[in-house]
Amino acid sequence: MIRKAKALFTAWLSHMTIYRAEIIIWMLAGMLPLIMMTVWIGKAQAEGGSTGGFSSSQFAAYFLAAWMSGQMTVAWVAWDMSFAVRQGTFSVKLLRPINPFWEYFMQHVTERFVRYPFVFLVVVVGVLLVPGTVLVKQLEHVVVYFFAIILAFIIRFLIAYCIGLACFWLENATALDELYFVLSIMLAGTFAPLEFYPAWLRGLLEYLPFPYIIYYPAQILTGQLDWTQMARVLAVQLLWVGVFFVVYQIMWRLGRKQYGAVGA
């Protein structure tokens, strides 16, 4: 397994390095949190320096952290799987001595290595543009964020993979992924910190995976959570990883029986 993982990592890292310009374009397509940052900063300045308890620098720190979290949890596997199943090329993957899950997973992991330097550059520029912005208050929060964002990425990948597996029953599963994308924009803290959401909605979101992918990792990085709260976030993230991994296993076993190699 180590040799297989090394081979997949090397192959996909070379592939992603070649397409780094395309990755930058996809980064530009995910600029909504930065756009919302300018909107909320403008609102805070119009109201005398703060709104809802957030100052301009606090808005900048939150949205930069949220954008970075979103960039680190991007997953497009549902689109790739839907295309492969419809074209019949998924048959080749089934013949290989390794579960296609790990090939898609390594494809996403290696893409992060190419994406992160550009993400880091944008975050640094954002911090410098807004006076007083402190993205990280303590080094300990960076360590916890590292584990939180890994779990957030796994959750997002498993959700996307399960959506991709739905193409065993549907002609095209990308519509489901688009629906998830819309819901995640509204419910993950991309438009605004969850402090601005109605109390009933925020209470409901505690039982959904959306805020644990973007909002809570951003809060951890910016030092807005204490150790008890951070431990709870990591525990809930692990729970969601377990839930979606079980869903993936069930869909994978049932889906293979439905696969008809259309277009092969």
68-81 pLDDT per residue, tens? 999 999 999 999 98
Instruction: Could you list the beta-strand ranges (E) of the chain.
Output: 50-51, 54-55
209-250 pLDDT per residue, tens? 999 999 999 999 999 999 999 999 999 999 999 999 999 999
Looking up tokens 């403008």 gives 42
Q: What is the pTM of this model?
A: 0.93
- CA–CA dist 216, 151 (Å, integer): 11
155-196 pLDDT per residue, tens? 999 999 999 999 888 877 888 989 999 999 999 999 999 999
Name the residue ranges covered by the structural domains of the chain.
Answer: 2-258
- CA–CA dist 198, 253 (Å, integer): 40
Rounded mean pLDDT, 101-112: 94
- CA–CA dist 29, 31 (Å, integer): 6
H/E stretch holding 76 reads none
Single out the residue of 128, 127, 153 nearest to residue 64, CA to CA.
Answer: 127
- CA–CA dist 67, 60 (Å, integer): 10
H/E stretch holding 45 reads helix 32-46
Rounded mean pLDDT, 118-141: 92
